[in-house]
């Protein structure tokens, strides 16, 4: 699950500390939450409530609601519409996976 499939275009980007599933990470500060998860290698961010299949962000434009994660304790937030802030706590909803 932790293949790094994405690169950041700018080498000298300022880093921002965030916490993903309890793990402290550094990501470029201009990312939104969905982009930060992709950057860190999390293609999947939740399980489908009916089938339990893994799902990941899809449209990145606020339409598809696939990128729902818990942000600072608030569940079901659209990651693609939320800008990261220092020390933001993000929890993917992957119970029993990883």
- Interface contacts to another protein, rule CB under 8 A: 3-10, 13, 28, 30-32, 35, 38-39, 43-45, 48, 50-51, 53-66, 68, 76, 80-81, 83
Q: How far is the CB of 40 from another protein (least distance, A)?
A: 11
User: Between the CA of residue 58 and those of 37, 50, 78, what are the distances in Å?
Assistant: 12, 18, 11
22 vs 51, beta carbon nearer another protein = 51
Q: How far is the CB of 73 from another protein (least distance, A)?
A: 13
């Amino acid at each position: 699950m932790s293949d790094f499939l994405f690169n950041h275009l700018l080498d000298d980007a300022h880093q921002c500390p965030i916490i993903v599933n309890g793990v402290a990470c550094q990501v470029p500060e201009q990312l939104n939450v969905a982009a930060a998860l992709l950057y860190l290698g999390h293609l999947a961010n939740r399980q489908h409530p009916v089938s339990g299949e893994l799902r990941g962000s899809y449209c990145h434009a606020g339409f598809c609601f696939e990128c729902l994660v818990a942000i600072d304790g608030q569940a079901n937030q659209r990651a693609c519409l939320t800008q990261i802030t220092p020390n933001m706590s993000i929890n993917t909803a992957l119970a029993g996976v990883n």
